[in-house]
Structure 1
Amino acid sequence: MSIVSDLVAAQPAAAPSPTASPVRRPLVQVHNEWDPLEEMIVGIADGARVPRADPGLYAVDYAENHASADEIPSGPYEHRVIAEANEDLARFAETLAAHGVTVRRPEPTDHAATFGAPGWTTDGEYNYCPRDVLLPIGDMIIEAPMMLRSRYFEPFAYRHLLAEYVESGARWISAPKPRLPDETWTARPGEGPIIAELEPLFDAANVLRVGRDILFQISRSGNRLGLAWLRSVLGPQYRVHAVEGVYDGTHIDTSITLVRPGLVALSAERVSPDKVPAIFARWDKIWVEDMVDTGYAWSYPRASIWQGMNFIMINPALAVVNELQRPLIRQLESHGVGVVPLPMRQARTLSGGFHCVSVDIRRRGTLEDYT
């Protein structure tokens, strides 16, 4: 060692400048569905309603069981539905907080108010399912270009949070706001694609994060232009895979649920062995066959019994699951996963289980390759 090096080595470490700003960590940081959870948004059921009839609502939710859009049971849900849903959401939020998770909530909205864009007018739905609205990937949070007119301004209920996330160093972008003309919805179920390729469309719940691999379900709530837009935004750091032939209803998280690296739960009814996404080729699989019908309190359930697959991971060893889904709970426990069973009485009525009614904003972990 030279004399200069000796002198440098002998010097005490410089004290940090009292005026130096600490390095801030963005409040948004999430790479998968299982890393230890630090912050989560949980929805609210206040003012929830079935929106007024229009071509999109009919094509997406009602065409399979109703002869025309006139049969859509539009209007507010009864008080008991809202009260029970909010009670269950509050208990869910309290459980997360007890596990050290910061819980945030959307702002209440007047969903009965009318609004519109050129060519159409509608009213709102709810702030019950933030998973559909916001898509955090890494330190970026994306407002999704949702395919229902009634949810056009739903992201506004989260603007107070988004502003705070940006101030912390996160990136906030919005997908191109769609026009949603009548031509958006092209066919009845079984007669071809439900949504046209006129503009990028997808709900954030069409997407699952598996580190550098991102799954995007092509369905009546996500089209190929939406897939192409997401690929262009995320760039070469990520591999965005189309998931097709699994479930053409709406969201991916009632058919495929990620548990931890190397373990995925799959709906045996919807996911045939030849349709399992290739990234799970070497993973262990929980084939879920028994779903408990948890019932509904409305003239028509907005979700199938597979809403029971809609669970969330607090960490790789602990899941929050609808307490009535006992067969699923036993399957998870047999794979060494602890379960917090909680009530979710209106999951089928309002179309939202624990994964739907929440969106993870920050999980403790790094971007990794799991394939």
Structure 2
Amino acid sequence: MVNIYTEWDTLREVIVANCYNISRINVDLSFKYFFHENLKDEFIKNSIDLQKRIVEQRQEDLDNFSSFLISQNIKVHRPEKLKEVKEFNTPNFSDWTCPVINPRDQVIVYGDEILETSCIWRMRYFENDLMKSIFRSYFLQGAKWSSSPRPIMNDESYDFDFKKNLEEIETGSFDKYEIMFDGAQCLKFGKDILMNVSNRNHYLGYIWLKQHLSGKANVHPVCLTDHHIDGMLMPLAPGVLLINSSSMEQQLNKLPEKLRKWKCIKVPAPHGHKSDADTTYLASQNINVNILSLSEKEVVTFNEDGNPDHALAELLAKNGFKVHTARLRHSRLFGGGLHCSTLDMVRDGEGRSFF
């Protein structure tokens, strides 16, 4: 039975990504929206080609990580493989189907509910269909299963006016913008959910989520980054945060007052090694904050170039955590570390208040 209230309670069941059958990424308006802060001039072209070797290495690491989780007595689900990349058309846009590379992006699992969120990136419009059989199984076991409004996604739907504070976002007209937000903009703290909001699409998503979870959870909007919050900070246990030291440390004052009192462990600066396979980076250099907790005392770190991240592992061990290290190559290219490439379905714990 689905049960998720935090990012750190003991993990029992999880979905792990697949990246079968992806060889090219279409660079369209929605791509530029999704990767707003990480977009560089070198990316402004019609598409990004992915070497077959890179995709195979990523898949190998995902498979090995699945085997590791199974060895820890955690039940692992995998999305269906994308058997064939197909072009699709809606009345407003065309794109190509893609596999479930980062299952956490478009789903929020909270309490006993699976909540599919409103797609931001057009290519991913039908991506969640590859997880429908998993969700159906949980639904038949008694889980609730909902979706936020599916957007039209025409060019006028997008608010490219990204802001640095909530006050600016709340003002102005919302008439032409749609509800568009990702599950990965949210972190769960028991009765409270921290949600990153940086434009009017997100703010509409915040209003919708707040209404949908009314009486179950308090949703706290913060403006920390362009989209996903789990590249900025990760709660590891009650009272303990892992933070991206390069961009989060100066923004701690934006967090809810009680959360500002939590202990902050700063992720060490990356060691600087660059994989020769990765010529395009679609995520921050500080993606190593994106770790997965197995419990409030046990975590899994990773390194995108295949070398163990000894500095972070040693720092976490000094702070009382049991640390495992996984290989997850090309994480910046695929836009996600261990947290992004998994989706918790069952953890122990109840909806307690930690704020």
TM over 0.5: yes
Q: Does 1:259 align with 2:236?
A: yes
In the alignment, residue 136 of structure 1 is paired with which amino acid?
V
Aligned to 1:278, the other structure's residue is in SS state coil
Distance change (3 Å), C-alpha of 1:96 and 1:68: closer
Which residue does 2:26 correspond to in 1?
52
Q: 2:133 aligns with which of 133, 156, 160?
A: 160
TM-score, length of structure 1 as denominator length: 0.85
- Give the deviation of 1:355 after TM superposition: 0.3
Contact 2:82 2:98 (C-alpha < 8 Å) held by counterparts? no
Deviation at 1:205, TM superposition (A): 0.5
Does the 8 Å contact 2:301/2:326 carry over to 1? yes
Tell me the CA shift for residue 78 of structure 1: 1.6
CA contact (8 A) 1:39 1:103 kept: yes
Q: Secondary structure at the match of 1:257?
A: strand
Partner Cα distance (1:39, 1:350) in 2:
23
Q: Distance in 2 between matches of 1:87 and 1:67?
A: 28
For 1:1-371, list aligned pairs within 5 A: 27-61=1-35, 64-66=39-41, 69=44, 71-75=45-49, 77-110=50-83, 112-187=85-160, 197=174, 198-219=177-198, 223-244=202-223, 246-248=224-226, 250-271=227-248, 272=250, 273-293=252-272, 295-296=274-275, 297-323=277-303, 324-371=308-355
The alpha-carbon distance between structure 1 residues 282 and 274, as it changes in their structure 2 partners (threshold 3 A), is closer
Structure 2, gaps ≥5 residues long: none
Deviations 1:11-47 (A, max 9, x none): xxxxxxxxxxxxxxxx211110111111000001101
Q: Which has the larger radius of gyration?
A: 1
Q: C-alpha root-mean-square deviation of aligned residues, in Å?
A: 2.3
Q: Distance in 2 between matches of 1:318 and 1:325?
A: 16
Give the C-alpha shift of residue 68 in structure 1.
8.1
What displacement does 1:67 show? 7.5
- The share of aligned pairs that are identical, in percent, is 26
**What secondary structure is seen at the aligned counterpart in 1 of 2:286?**
helix
**Conservation of the 8 A alpha-carbon contact between 1:307 and 1:353:** yes
**Residue 223 of structure 1: SS of its match in structure 2?**
helix
Amino acid at match of 1:203: D
Cα 1:83/1:68, change in 2 over 3 Å: closer
Tell me if the contact between 1:321 and 1:339 (Cα under 8 Å) persists in the aligned partners.
yes
SS of the equivalent of 1:342 reads strand
Q: Are 2:20 and 2:99, in contact at CA under 8 Å, matched by a contact in 1?
A: yes
TM-score (norm 2): 0.89
Aligned pair count reads 339
Q: What is the deviation of 1:287?
A: 2.3
* 1:345 Cα deviation after fit: 1.0
Distance in 2 (CA, whole Å) between partners of 1:42 and 1:221 is: 31
Distance 1:206 1:314 in 2: 21
Task: State the distance in 1 between where 2:10 and 2:215 align.
Answer: 26
- How far apart, CA to CA, are the structure 2 residues paired with 1:355 and 1:305? 16
Per the TM alignment, residue 72 of structure 1 is displaced from its structure 2 partner at its CA by 4.2
